[in-house]
Amino acid sequence: MTDVFAALGDPTRRTVLREVSERGSATATELAAPLGISRQAVAKHLGVLADAHLVDGRREGRETRFRPTPAPLGDAISWMTGIGGAWDERLAALERHVETRRARGR
In the complex, the residues that contact other proteins under the rule CB under 8 A are 1, 3-5, 8-9, 11, 14, 17-18, 20-22, 24, 53-55, 67-71, 73, 75-77, 79-80, 83-84, 87-88, 90-91, 93-95, 97-98, 101-102, 106
Q: What is the DSSP letter of 37?
A: S
AA letter at 76: A
**DSSP conformation letters of 76-106:** HHHHHHHHHHHHHHHHHHHHHHHHHHHHHT-
Q: How far is the CB of 62 from other proteins (least distance, A)?
A: 25
Query: Are the C-beta atoms of 7 and 50 separated by less than 8 Å?
Result: no
**3-state secondary structure at position 56:** strand
Q: How far is the CB of 31 from other proteins (least distance, A)?
A: 15
Residue 11 or 36 with smaller CB distance to other proteins:
11
Q: Are 32 and 68 in contact (CB under 8 A)?
A: no
Kindly state the smallest distance separating residue 4's Cβ from other proteins, in Å.
5
The nearer residue to other proteins, 62 or 73, going by C-beta atoms, is: 73
Q: Which is nearer to other proteins, 34 or 82 (CB)?
A: 82
